Structure 1
Amino acid sequence: MPDALPDALPDALPDDIVLIDSRTPALASGDYRLTVDQTISLDGSPASITKTFTVAGERLALPPSGVRAVYPPDGATGDYTQTLPHVVLAEPTLPWQRQPGAGTTGPWLLVLLFAGDERPEPHVVQAGTLGLTLEGAEKSADPVTVIDVPRSLLTSLLPAAADLPYLAHVRSGDGSDAAVVIGNRLPPAGQPCVAHLVSVEGRLRNGTLVPGPADQPVRLVSLANWRFTVLDADHSFAARVRDLAAGSGPFRLPATGDPAADAFLSRGLVPVRHRLRGGGATVSWYRGPFACGPVGGGPLAADPRPVVRSADGLLRYFKAEGMLDIGYAAAWQLGRLLALRDDGVATALHTWKRRRDRPAGAGGNYPLDVPAAVSPPPAVVGWLADLATLTRVPFTYLIPDERLLPPESIRFVDVDAEWIRCLVDGAYSIGRITRADAERDAASEPPVGTPRLTGALIRSSVVSGYPGLLIDGYDAGGAALRVARRETMSPNVLLVLFEGVLARLDLHQRPEDQHFAVEPAGPGRLTRSLRGPNGEALGTGDPVPLGASGTVPVARLAAGMARVLNIPSGFGAAAFARQMLETGERVTFLTP
């Protein structure tokens, strides 16, 4: 049984990434009038010219490319109870292009989190109904997505004036720069949540919501929104991946208690229905390309290589049991059928073989000194190379019985190189009609190698819940293995194959799944572990009380960090974000 081990967490922020408190544009978005006066000394006549222009910035809507990432991921389910939601924006100056209101410093964009019955329903209105002064190319008929939030609820969710500057920063160094806007509320457990990126342009005065009728909701422009569901800690990424270890085992069917049958099952063979050429039906043994240990030898591994003209030549018969093993025969026939299904490959392969065989058929009477077509066309070689990594092989040939891969399990497998050779030879057999054709094919084997492949099959909700899941493989010496193939076979089944012998498998989240998290510090209180420049632990910040709606007093939390870190001044949004960043979790499996 493989072990699931937690990996040591590195510093949350790579050295080549820089966080910046803010990036104010040279000109804020809006309409401008430029007047130039000139007085000519010759006659004293003044001259004046006025031009108007607009600095256009996103205001009432964002294009799809404007949002680079959100966290928690849209549609995700997991343990996010200690996570502040955030959005990454492609335009690094966007949060500071406008003002939240008079006497208020900070971004004009906020991430507001709504849970359960609080969730407002977005709807579309015309820009002219919002009571805004439209700018530049904005039209009163432009569609705008808005949400209506009860004033009392909005007041309880809005960050304090001192919190605002900490809720947005710029991320630089890992590609084009981006702005990050962080929410100030922790998602409650066991509830569906929705986060909205809203505009508060002109809605705040001295850091608080502009007064209005208490019984009327406040209409906010929503530039983006995403939904997720919060579960308890048992449903976190790490917990769900570690649960795979509990369901681990060899890639074979369970024993039956019958020694004769178990001898076959222990080698990974599966009983399958078999329709014979004569029309009869029987039960035969089958094993696909995956085995629960190294597999050596095989009919095509012999030297000299045998001539195979049909799949029947690869059937193996167990006389004592009176049963056939059809695994290699099925692989050969499948390869042939896959090649025939691809008209381009079948035609190119057949044409090449006719050119290859023409000099041999003419003997010494071939009139032209034309070099023989030694290798198949590159397109055919590439197709065969893909086939050797099991590309295009149907799911049922790989996993013939679902009991081989139970729900919420991981299985480590060795790839049977002989099964791959039979598969490729079946495809290569196009145009192999006579015995002479077969002998010439045997003399010029397909230029496709069969390196040692090992890997893992995962059947879990983790596959669908984390579509960007990263998987790394290492050999016994710790060297990274090259991925030969990775494919999501079904919504919850993932296959990954490596070149070499897999000894350790790491599953971890994407770098963009870095998020901003806090830690509990007793009932109703929270804190954050602090790190030095090299990732060294520096204790925890001063605990702060959690707001009634789960809001975090960000400015107080930052002040407690600054005190512990002995930074009396200059502890801004970037320093706060660096301490709040949490790396994507990583779980390590050791193969049996």
Structure 2
Amino acid sequence: MSDNEMILDGEKVTGITLKDGHIPNMTDGNYKVTVKQTVTLPPEVKQQSDIKLDTPGFTVRGPRFSLDPSMVHAVHPAVGATGDFSLQFPHIVISRDVLPWERQPITGTPRVPWVALMIFAQDELRADPATGDSATSRKVSDLASSASDAMVPGYTDVDVPTALKNSMCVTIDARSDAFTAIVPHRSELPFLAHVREIGPRSGREAYAVVMASRLPKKEGRYEAHLISLEALGAYLDGKKPDKAYVRLLSLHRWSFTAKNDVRHGFDVLARNLVRNNTNNARELSLSLSSEGVTNARVKDRLTAGYVPVSHLTQTGEQSFAWYRGPFTPVIPPEPSDKKKCYITADDALIYIADDGVFDVSYSAAFTWGRLLALADSDLAAPVLKARRTVLRHMLTLSSVLADLEATTPVPPADNDSGSDVQENDFTEELAAHLTRQIQGNTPYHQFGELVEAGLATRLKTSLTTPTPTETRLSSPARKGDITGRDLASTIQRPDVQEAFRRALRIPPYGPADTNVALTDTPSNTGLLDGWAWDTPSLLSLLPRDVFLPHAALVPPESLRLFHINPHWITALVDGITSVGISTNLDQQAAKLIRDAIAHQDAGKITGIILRSQLITQWPGFHFQAFRQANYQQPCPVIRRDLIAPDTLLLLLDGSPRIVELVEPTHEVTLGLDSNNTCTPRLKTGTKVTSKSVKAEMRDTVHNVVNIAKMRDTFTTSDLGWSTQNPITPSGFALQMMHPPCRAVVKQQ
């Protein structure tokens, strides 16, 4: 199809294009490059012998006897799934979109796929008596080895490269009657494969989809095999093998179980997920259940996202404490000492006097930060470098203040009229002096200052003046110089602190723009270049148990919303910047460095933790979140991490009111409606509800659909096709497609 947008059952599906196939410009094989040159010489020039030119050769070789598992993007039904698949055509999605058309199974015929997806019931394959496995690994050179009761494909006539003869492949032995019933006919092959292009036109991803023609209606275990049809051309028109079994080359395989009373699929799992989370704030919050808890204070703690943890006090007493990680179901209040920079983990302990226990949340955050910095030199290096930079500028503060106080009135100690104006002027002047010191502290700027101060004249004088026999160096103290004893206290002055922030471009004086989306906001200032200090990057350093301390916070088949506690992130950063602190000046520098790290984004970030089979069976599902109930103002996904096989963590820019889970477009199911019927569609995807097409079976015992007859039924003028313009493989896929399922969770 050429359209990039279609309507499936009233549902607008964007960013998808169906194509008949992708035939490569060069198929597998050996090629030679021939160059011919003709030179015409005048008659008087003696003719030379022909110039011999090289004919270099090269080989085009794609997958043939095995398929890299990474090329398999998805399968349906999912691996190990159990459910009712009686109306669904199993299919496989391959990321190498040219694969089904890279080879030609039948010489001299129009190009058809050389692979087919075949579904076998458990008793239709010969199993190893010892292991019960139906698949056998063997060398490619052994494919043509004869078997007493199995028909072996004629690979002897196929040009198998020597380099591949010792490679391994997988074969199965299928019962001849089952093989004859299930193997696609020559006329059906083109309609059992198509290409789906997904995404915007500027950056599409293409996938090959190969579907089976058998419906797994009977209950039991099935095996799906992507079979190579090479050397099987004689059996694609219904010819029966003359032996009990047929040996087939399997490129990929998986199994599933059909059980007619069990609903299964993206729609079932997604709707159950929404049903389990009843859309109220309590069910969606990241907290332990407080059902049955009678103590009001304990209930409040659980509701706020805390979990009880074991705690060993400094005196050796075994007790318990409350802990809450960086993810919280409520917006946390600001701590009373929010401006304090923690130097030790004990500084961050919070004693709950009413209960006689500790809140260890911020203490644990500090400890984790310190451990991360001690364990990773790449994380600690920019912090230590920044501290040296700040300390160097602090040590120049004495001369800066002396120069400034000589020309600028110092603000009075009391708060009389006009003192605020004087203090602002003094702070601005101090910041300007520090800025010149800091930004000019490069060899280029230092050399420029020396030249302006008369470097050339002094050098000439020095070289022409005799050296005195004795030189006495002196450094008299200037009025207003700060002694080392008073430097730490001077640094703590509010005006000096603000001046340092302005000079070092520390937020709010840095370049960060809070109105810009988090994905576009600079993560740090030049002071701490060398590491990504934004909240998502810091969280990525932590193990899962830090932010999910109890499994019951996210039970199976659940979705939980949370905020990020910026004060927890601050304590984490305090732990990182605490490495190597030994003096009061180090502490002051650490506080400035902590403030320079742009973790202010934590207050804007929210998140979702999803635990469901959707993640294991549909890992590529689409996720959307919106700030408004009318699907306006989307919340961009900042980070998407798989923190467990069935658990997904999503960090968002903004607080969502609506969360939407959408089935991946490239994995939408193919199948029939009830009673083996199909409501046909126009080329645009719109259903023609006045018509119904019944799927006839080519083999009723094995429930194999007659694809060729269904194709002819769809070739009617009222659907947009005709005998002169018959339905194409992509058009047939459109008839079989089910619209992608959407599940919506709304936060009241």
Distance 1:122 1:340, change over 3 A: same
Matched residue type, 1:218:
V
Deviations 1:66-89 (A, max 9, x none): 945452276252544413324537
1:545 aligns with 2:665: no
Most deviating of 18-27 and 558-567:
18-27
Deviations 1:133-178 (A, max 9, x none): 1327358945554322221111121234543332234556775766
Q: CA deviation at 1:388?
A: 6.2
What's the % identity of the aligned pairs? 22
1:587 aligns with 2:587: no
Structure-1 residue corresponding to 2:387: 353
Distance 1:283 1:182, change over 3 A: closer
1:191 aligns with 2:220: yes
For residues 273 and 164 of structure 2, the distance between their equivalents in structure 1, rounded to whole angstroms, comes to: 55
1:266 aligns with 2:266: no
Distance 1:572 1:336, change over 3 A: same
For residues 185 and 15 of structure 2, the distance between their equivalents in structure 1, rounded to whole angstroms, comes to: 31
In the alignment, is the contact (CA less than 8 A) between 1:20 and 1:171 conserved in 2?
no
For residues 135 and 187 of structure 1, the distance between their equivalents in structure 2, rounded to whole angstroms, comes to: 37
1:561 aligns with 2:714: yes
Matched residue type, 2:388:
R
SS at match of 1:187: coil
1:285 to 309, 322, 327: 322
Structure-2 residue corresponding to 1:43: none
For residues 359 and 260 of structure 1, the distance between their equivalents in structure 2, rounded to whole angstroms, comes to: 49
Q: How do 1:125-140 residues align onto structure 2 when only pairs under 5 Å count?
A: 125=139, 126=141, 127-129=143-145, 130-131=153-154, 132-135=156-159, 137=161
Deviations 1:337-380 (A, max 9, x none): 22222122223312320221123235446999626877433223
1:506 aligns with 2:660: yes
Q: CA deviation at 1:59?
A: 8.2
Q: CA deviation at 1:336?
A: 2.1
1:337 to 371, 392, 395: 371
In the alignment, is the contact (CA less than 8 A) between 1:318 and 1:325 conserved in 2?
yes
Structure-2 residue corresponding to 1:112: 118
Most deviating of 59-68 and 77-86:
59-68
1:370 to 441, 459, 464: 441
User: Which structure shows the higher helix fraction?
Assistant: 2
1:98 aligns with 2:98: no
Matched residue type, 2:252:
A
Distance 1:446 1:27, change over 3 A: closer
Q: CA deviation at 1:283?
A: 2.0
In the alignment, is the contact (CA less than 8 A) between 2:564 and 2:605 conserved in 1?
yes
1:463 aligns with 2:615: yes
For residues 573 and 472 of structure 1, the distance between their equivalents in structure 2, rounded to whole angstroms, comes to: 32
1:122 aligns with 2:148: no
SS at match of 1:442: helix
Q: CA deviation at 1:500?
A: 0.7
Structure-2 residue corresponding to 1:241: 270
Deviations 1:80-106 (A, max 9, x none): 441332453736375374244799994
Distance 1:461 1:317, change over 3 A: same
1:147 to 142, 162, 172: 172
1:253 to 282, 288, 292: 288
1:395 aligns with 2:544: yes
For residues 93 and 393 of structure 1, the distance between their equivalents in structure 2, rounded to whole angstroms, comes to: 41
Distance 1:261 1:370, change over 3 A: same
**Structure 2 residue ranges without an equivalent (≥5):** 1-7, 37-54, 127-133, 146-152, 278-282, 401-436, 443-502, 506-525
Matched residue type, 1:61:
F
In the alignment, is the contact (CA less than 8 A) between 1:270 and 1:401 conserved in 2?
yes
In the alignment, is the contact (CA less than 8 A) between 2:678 and 2:695 conserved in 1?
no
Structure-2 residue corresponding to 1:574: 730
Q: CA deviation at 1:577?
A: 1.4
Deviations 1:256-298 (A, max 9, x none): 1222322322322222222222322322222222222222322
Deviations 1:443-492 (A, max 9, x none): 45132133312122223333333333332222125222122332222222
Structure-2 residue corresponding to 1:449: 599
Structure-2 residue corresponding to 1:478: 632
1:406 to 546, 555, 558: 555
1:19 aligns with 2:171: no
In the alignment, is the contact (CA less than 8 A) between 2:95 and 2:206 conserved in 1?
no
Distance 1:560 1:273, change over 3 A: same
Deviations 1:309-346 (A, max 9, x none): 22333332332222222222222222222222212222
For residues 538 and 228 of structure 1, the distance between their equivalents in structure 2, rounded to whole angstroms, comes to: 33
Structure-1 residue corresponding to 2:490: none
SS at match of 1:208: coil
For residues 355 and 28 of structure 1, the distance between their equivalents in structure 2, rounded to whole angstroms, comes to: 62
Distance 1:426 1:110, change over 3 A: same
For residues 207 and 536 of structure 2, the distance between their equivalents in structure 1, rounded to whole angstroms, comes to: 41
Q: How many residues align?
A: 560
For residues 557 and 144 of structure 2, the distance between their equivalents in structure 1, rounded to whole angstroms, comes to: 53
Larger radius of gyration: 2
Q: CA deviation at 1:184?
A: 0.8
**Structure 1 residue ranges without an equivalent (≥5):** 1-6, 37-50
Distance 1:439 1:185, change over 3 A: same
For residues 161 and 398 of structure 2, the distance between their equivalents in structure 1, rounded to whole angstroms, comes to: 81
Most deviating of 573-582 and 124-133:
124-133
User: Which structure shows the higher strand fraction?
Assistant: 1
For residues 365 and 191 of structure 1, the distance between their equivalents in structure 2, rounded to whole angstroms, comes to: 86
Q: CA deviation at 1:576?
A: 0.6
1:437 to 586, 592, 598: 586
Structure-1 residue corresponding to 2:473: none
For residues 533 and 83 of structure 1, the distance between their equivalents in structure 2, rounded to whole angstroms, comes to: 21
For residues 679 and 109 of structure 2, the distance between their equivalents in structure 1, rounded to whole angstroms, comes to: 33
Please, what TM-score do these two structures have when normalized by structure 1?
A: 0.82
Structure-2 residue corresponding to 1:42: none
Structure-1 residue corresponding to 2:426: none
Matched residue type, 2:244:
Q
1:72 to 72, 76, 101: 76
Q: CA deviation at 1:428?
A: 2.5
Q: CA deviation at 1:203?
A: 3.2
For residues 167 and 13 of structure 1, the distance between their equivalents in structure 2, rounded to whole angstroms, comes to: 23
Please, what TM-score do these two structures have when normalized by structure 2?
A: 0.66
Deviations 1:520-570 (A, max 9, x none): 2x2xxx122333344433225411234331211112222333346253221
Matched residue type, 1:370:
N
SS at match of 1:296: coil
For residues 361 and 252 of structure 1, the distance between their equivalents in structure 2, rounded to whole angstroms, comes to: 49
2:247 to 193, 200, 219: 219
2:191 to 149, 157, 166: 166
1:317 aligns with 2:351: yes
In the alignment, is the contact (CA less than 8 A) between 2:125 and 2:173 conserved in 1?
no
